[in-house]
Amino acid sequence: MLSLPDFPVRQRDFLLEISRAITAQLDLSEVLRRVLEASVIMIAGRVGVVALHDPKDGSFRVRAYKGIQREQVAALNEKLNAFIKTVSTGIERRHLDQQLKDMAASLNDDLVQAVAMPLVFAENPLGLLIVFRSYEASVTPNDMQILQSFADQAAIAVNNAQMFQRIKQDQQRQAAILQHSADGVIILDADLEILQVNQAFEQMTGWSTENAVGQSLEDVIVWKQLESLDLQDAVAQGWPTRRDQTGAQSDTFYVEGDLLRQDGLTLSVGITYAPLFSQEGKLTNIIGNLRDITNFRRAQEMQNVFISTVSHELRTPVALIKGYASTLMRPDAQWNKEVILNSLQVIEEESDRLTSLIDDLLTASRIQAERGVQLQLSDVSLDHMAANAVERLQLQTDKHRFTVSFPSDFPSVQGDAKLLRQVIENLITNAIKYSPQGGTITVGGRATDEDVTFFVRDEGVGIPERELSRVFSRFYRVDNKWAATTKGTGLGLYLAKAIIEAHGGTINVKSQVNQGSTFFFTIPRD
């Protein structure tokens, strides 16, 4: 036991040590350990605990302890929360003292008294400090003063450490968002010098963080083609402090164009710049968000081509139908039977072509609207359906030889007859269109106990390997010399894929340039 004159000196030394610990580091566990050790020594205790409040669920949990085993902490947490719940009910002090005595006895039979002090910072309850003693004595004002001093220091430590932890977590979260964002991010200072970039920026521009940081923006963001003012021009003209016609300050600035990467390649990007200001209204930083718009531009281009193609595809059969019908209706002409039949045949063929195109457009629209394909299921014989399609379509060409190859026991499947016929006719029509020099077109299939596979093989121009993954995309047409002279909307294979997948199947293609292509799909028998 310390002599009376030693108390103020020892108390001062402990408080000085704890204050140094708080200012020297923000390690909450270490500061709580020092506070607890000093508290136990100064009021001659044997056991001490510090429990902190968890704002997520409102509970209290022991974060530092002295004089007990780890195995006792779980049970102590339950008793602490029961005690705090009792305090909140406003029960008499003697009942609270009894609860503290019971808590002391549960830790060690020799403990008979507990002295508790709340940890409060700016009227915000942060936790609880309790020291247990092995003798019972009245708690002197000096005891309370000492414990209050340590509790105040502990509360400061808890508050500082929690604030530091929140700031650190925010920084880590922001860093994670920055680094793992799919968009490129660039942070500039007010002079447009690069302070920070993320991984996506590195991938888009070819500039590493080490090489980009410290560079001027104009040295890193180099445009091969720019469709508007660059950031430097906008700043020179008063952005972001200039105001629009309504008097509002410009919030962001957008730039779009083809970016020249460091490796010499180009990438279509759109960059949105946003300014950051100090409390005094001074520009401090500019944050740039880079987005790869290559696919967006390609989709726009494909859609424009599609609209142009569909307009042409619709106009051609309509013009032919109208032309032949007008010719047949001329009152000043006498047509023989052969001319009339040939004209009517052209009108019928062009009407069928027009109907097929409209069916494709309607099916594509329905797939988009319904997010899928609705099936009308029945027994379908793909081999008979293929034979009928070949018989009809071979009349469209005199350059190709057709072979139909199915085993004699080829099974029927459950499917939508109309839609599967559309797929088969589309695949055979493509084989005719993209083998303009002629050759053999083979239509066939094979079956297992679980599924059937249907294929169409031609000896045509083939498909470049880089295009294979995109041939089933909506509006897409293979980029080769035959595409410009071959009729089509770029919808057929897109529809085929949607229809086959609706049947629970898959569709794919194998192809080599100038050696032909094989399109095949597999669907379950049931």
pLDDT at 2: 43
Nearest to 207 by CA among 262, 167, 253: 262
Task: Band the pLDDT of 484: cuts 50, 70, 90.
Answer: very low
pTM over 0.85: no
Q: Clarify whether residues 335 and 253 are in a common domain.
A: no
Q: Clarify whether residues 68 and 126 are in a common domain.
A: yes
* 223 within a domain of the structure (yes/no): yes
> At 133, which CATH number?
3.30.450.40
276, 284 contact by CB (below 8 A): yes
Residue 35: pLDDT above 60? yes
Q: Clarify whether residues 12 and 74 are in a common domain.
A: yes
Specify the residue for token string 């247990």. Answer: 132
Q: Clarify whether residues 169 and 217 are in a common domain.
A: no
Residue at a domain's end among 324, 352, 370: 370
Q: What amino acid occupies position 436?
A: P
- Alpha-carbon gap, residue 424 to 60, rounded angstroms: 69
Exposure string (b/e) for 62-101, b if CB count within 10 Å is 16 or more?
Answer: bbbbbbbeeebbeebbebbeebbeeeeeeeeeeeeeebbb
Exposure string (b/e) for 229-242, b if CB count within 10 Å is 16 or more?
Answer: ebbeebbeeebbee
Q: Clarify whether residues 155 and 243 are in a common domain.
A: no
> At 333, which CATH number?
1.10.287.130
β-pairing, 400-405 vs 439-447, is: parallel
Q: Residues with Cβ < 8 Å from 409, sequence gap 6 or more?
A: 447
* 11 within a domain of the structure (yes/no): yes
Q: Clarify whether residues 129 and 90 are in a common domain.
A: yes
Strand partners, 402: 441
Residue at a domain's end among 313, 346, 370: 370
67, 47 contact by CB (below 8 A): yes
* 1 within a domain of the structure (yes/no): no
Per-residue pLDDT of 116-156, as tens digits, reads 888 888 888 888 989 998 988 877 777 677 777 777 877 88
* 458 within a domain of the structure (yes/no): yes
* 497 within a domain of the structure (yes/no): yes
115, 143 contact by CB (below 8 A): yes
Rounded to 5 degrees, φ, ψ at 5 are -65, -25
Q: Clarify whether residues 142 and 29 are in a common domain.
A: yes
Residue 441: pLDDT above 90? yes
What does the H/E/C string look like for 188-247?
Answer: EECCCEEEEECHHHHHHHCCCHHHHCCCEHHHHCEEEEECCCCHHHHHHCCCCCCECCCC
Name the H helices within 329-472. Answer: 337-370, 382-393, 417-433
Nearest to 425 by CA among 385, 376, 383: 385
- Give how many domains the chain has, as a whole number: 4
**Could you tell me the end-to-end alpha-carbon distance of the chain, in angstroms, rounded to an integer?**
88
Q: Clarify whether residues 22 and 124 are in a common domain.
A: yes
The three-state secondary structure class of 471 is coil
Which value, in Å, is the radius of gyration of the alpha carbons in the chain? 40
pLDDT at 148: 78
Q: Clarify whether residues 153 and 56 are in a common domain.
A: yes
What 209-216 contacts at long range (C-beta under 8 Å, 24+ apart), as own/partner pairs, is 212/186, 216/192
Per-residue pLDDT of 365-421, as tens digits, reads 676 666 667 788 999 999 999 999 999 888 878 889 999 999 989 999 999 998 899
> At 502, which CATH number?
3.30.565.10
* 133 within a domain of the structure (yes/no): yes
pLDDT at 302: 62
Q: Clarify whether residues 20 and 148 are in a common domain.
A: yes
Residue at a domain's end among 370, 401, 431: 370
* 263 within a domain of the structure (yes/no): yes
Segment of 231-235, 247-251, 342-346 carrying the highest mean pLDDT: 231-235
The residue segments making up the domain with residue 282 are: 182-292
